Structure 1
Amino acid sequence: MKVKIKFPWRFIDSSYYRSLINYPPKDVKFLGVERSYVKVIDSPKLFTFQKRVKTFLRKTAELIKIPNITFTTTLNFDLIHCAHCLLLNNFPWVVDVEHYWTFSASSNISYSKFGKFIIRKILRKNNCKKILPWTHAAGTTIKDALRDKEINNKIEVVYPAIPAAKLINAVKTKKTTLLFIGRYFYQKGGLFALEVFKKLKQKYDCRCILISLTIPKYLKEKYGDFVEIYDSVSEDVLFNEIYPSSDIFIYPGFSDTFGFSLLEAMSFGIPIVTVDGFARKEIVENGKNGFVIERPNDIRIYRIGKKERKVINEIVEKASILIESSSLRRKMGKYGRMLVEKGRFSIKERNKKLKEIYEEAIRY
């Protein structure tokens, strides 16, 4: 089966599509993008440049007020898989989406009266066979925004997946190693992670690592005595040295619709301490593969006040439990790895569902 992947942007910077293209369902060939074309950016300068270009394009799109609409001029395939976009061709297609608003370049477009009209009209077409939200939380945003039974019947959740990491015998020290990774420093809870690390270093003889493409220079200087801070590391270093030597993953993650670094940590058998939000509890089951801290309303990500301090203290409390119990770390890590190796976030499970969806889409 030949499936063409259509993207609304030329910037393809997502672990979702890299995994999909590199590990396709059996007997499915993806057209429209080469395997090497999908690359997750790890250069601070390139990441900043891309971010600025995306912001410019997003603002331009808001002036036009049109959702992510696309079409194709060639038809040498069986099905089209749209990535966060809407197809105009009269040809069978499915679409994956991480949140309702990502049908457009901006939530201002998707939630506008005109935006909803266009999105609803295209999704209701008979040749739109399936809508594939990444999570149940994402599916709910579509249902709440459009309130359309015909569209609701097309929704089927297909969780993202990554390959299970090859476990290697990394050099382990007696110190417990805690890790935070987040390209968008503040949005991913980087400031909270730094405060957590500072408190834990004062309490335990532990190692703390923070990796972020966008951490401000003054914070590097302020926390440098407590934390090993990196703008970026190569994938080789990350997957062969840092993840294998880490014991606990600290990830507040305030702006995520998903959070692929959570799956990466789980893949290496690392328990997680995180903060609730959107689909977080679909990924981290509290008490099973990590701990989920309840999130207060109106939490600030750029400054630490009383409300934020409470969250930090709760993360420290849960991380302390894991630091003091290697058996609990192993138990939680084992369950998390199972979810990636053969559970709902496994390549096998995702490909099984996608293959069935693709075959059904071209059958009717």
Structure 2
Amino acid sequence: MHIGIDARMYGSKQGGLGRYIQQLIKHLEKTDTKHNFVIFLRQENWHEYEPANHNFKKVLADIPWYGWREQLLLPKIIKKEKINLMHFPHWNIPIFYNQPFVVTIHDLLLLHYPTRKASTLSPISYFLKNIAFRFALCHAIKKSKNIITPCKFTKNDILKHFDVPAKKINAVHLGISNFQIDSLPTDKQDSNSTKITKKYSITKPYILYVGVAYPHKNLEGLMRAWKIFEEKYNDNYQLILAGKKNYFYKQLIQDKQLQNKDIIFTDFVPDNELPELYKNASLYAFPSFYEGFGLPPLEAMSYDIPIASSDRSCLPEILQNAAIYFNPEKPEEIAKILHYLLTDIATRDRLITNGRQLIKKYSWDNTAKRTLEIYQDSV
């Protein structure tokens, strides 16, 4: 069987979706030698992936996401490769693609948060985009052979809003990335830690957030909570916000009401530096209103970092008893939980112990094996 994977969003620079595609392909290479895989990439991530097995090859599909070129030209590129089953790891499937495919739907974010604050488009353009999203999502759900979701929450969300058989939707948990910090000699770890501390102007113990700054991530709420935290509880910490400085991060940086000398915006942090940021953090904060899975808190958990998390969407399902939860709409409550987790040693130890057990459930090998079963069931 010839299986195609749309990897135009491949790589950690594309956030959680890019990391999902990257790790899925990496572990499919470990798992499968029977089928032939064609990995479709853009020019910008072409050199980030090199096939490790003889049954994997890459093909250039330098077509932007969304837009008319994706609709008209991408199907032609796929057709040339004689694909039996295509995997689209996002809902933007070309309407004119009429061959068998599997789709991963990570969340229904635009259905729940149809706000123009989450876009740089004009009101008219955003209105049209929202209509196109709903049409594309319905098309993906209706025409796909199988649907993959990263959690039961998203599966149930789809069942609630769309007329689709439950057996067609497969909840497949993601895995936790291994950044290979253990492979570094101790002296190099210490040296690397010092360099990174200096690079990002870290001068105090810190609370960490890793990810993008879209409005639903609620970094504005976390920053408002930070002001309360410093005034009421402790001003001997820094808040490190690690993510590419896109439009939404820049909006936060420019907001004078949120400005604070102890809030550090790192910009994009490469994978070889993330381990040091994780392992030296005092606490990981995840204030999101809505998630399809939530990889960063699990990655932090793998470094024995206690987690303070929003109680919304899939997060209680994924983080279970290895996090303390707060209402993300209440900055005072967030500040109180941050202080509690920094000072209550027994709770910190309990969360770390629970986290060590929990992360054993989340394996990219298992993700790849389960996904392969879905491929085989789809043709």
TM-score normalized by structure 1?
0.70
* Separation (CA, whole Å) in 2 of partners of 1:27 and 1:331: 38
Q: 1:43 aligns to what?
A: none
* Separation (CA, whole Å) in 2 of partners of 1:167 and 1:351: 23
SS state at 2:170 partner: coil
Q: 1:210 aligns to what?
A: 241
Cα distance, 1:269 vs. partner?
2.6
1:168-247 map, 5 Å = 176-184=205-213, 186-202=215-231, 203-204=233-234, 205-212=236-243, 213=245, 214-216=249-251, 217-219=253-255, 223-239=259-275, 241-247=276-282
Q: 2:4 aligns to what?
A: 4
SS state at 1:209 partner: strand
Cα distance, 1:196 vs. partner?
2.8
Q: 1:84 aligns to what?
A: 90
The aligned length equals 313
Tell me, yes or no, if the aligned pair for 1:196 and 1:313 is still in contact at 8 Å: yes
Q: 1:331 aligns to what?
A: 350
* Separation (CA, whole Å) in 2 of partners of 1:174 and 1:215: 23
Cα distance, 1:273 vs. partner?
1.3
* Separation (CA, whole Å) in 2 of partners of 1:74 and 1:222: 52
Q: Percent of counterpart pairs with the same letter?
A: 21
The aligned amino acid for 1:5 is: I
Tell me, yes or no, if the aligned pair for 2:311 and 2:325 is still in contact at 8 Å: yes
* Separation (CA, whole Å) in 2 of partners of 1:141 and 1:38: 37
* Separation (CA, whole Å) in 2 of partners of 1:146 and 1:219: 39
Cα–Cα, structure 1 residues 11 and 93, in superposed 2: closer, same or farther, change >3 Å? Answer: closer
* Separation (CA, whole Å) in 1 of partners of 2:104 and 2:38: 16
Instruction: Point out the more displaced range, 213-222 or 136-145.
Output: 213-222
Q: 1:47 aligns to what?
A: none
Cα distance, 1:252 vs. partner?
0.8
**Residue among 132, 135, 155 paired with 1:109:** 132
**RMSD after superposition:** 4.0
Q: 1:352 aligns to what?
A: 369
SS state at 1:160 partner: coil
Cα–Cα, structure 1 residues 277 and 108, in superposed 2: closer, same or farther, change >3 Å? Answer: farther
Cα–Cα, structure 1 residues 329 and 133, in superposed 2: closer, same or farther, change >3 Å? Answer: same
Cα distance, 1:249 vs. partner?
0.8
Cα distance, 1:266 vs. partner?
2.4
* Separation (CA, whole Å) in 2 of partners of 1:75 and 1:155: 27
Tell me, yes or no, if the aligned pair for 2:86 and 2:100 is still in contact at 8 Å: yes
Higher helix share: 2
Cα distance, 1:323 vs. partner?
0.8
Cα distance, 1:82 vs. partner?
2.1
Tell me, yes or no, if the aligned pair for 1:79 and 1:92 is still in contact at 8 Å: yes
Cα–Cα, structure 1 residues 91 and 337, in superposed 2: closer, same or farther, change >3 Å? Answer: farther
Tell me, yes or no, if the aligned pair for 1:248 and 1:272 is still in contact at 8 Å: yes
Cα distance, 1:5 vs. partner?
0.5
Cα–Cα, structure 1 residues 281 and 246, in superposed 2: closer, same or farther, change >3 Å? Answer: same
Note the alpha carbon deviations across 1:159-198, whole angstroms, 9 max, x for none.
Answer: 2223244455766999653112332254322222223333
Cα–Cα, structure 1 residues 334 and 215, in superposed 2: closer, same or farther, change >3 Å? Answer: farther
- Alignment of 1:278 with 2:313, yes or no, is yes
**Residue among 88, 93, 96 paired with 2:104:** 96
Cα distance, 1:361 vs. partner?
3.2
Cα–Cα, structure 1 residues 209 and 110, in superposed 2: closer, same or farther, change >3 Å? Answer: closer
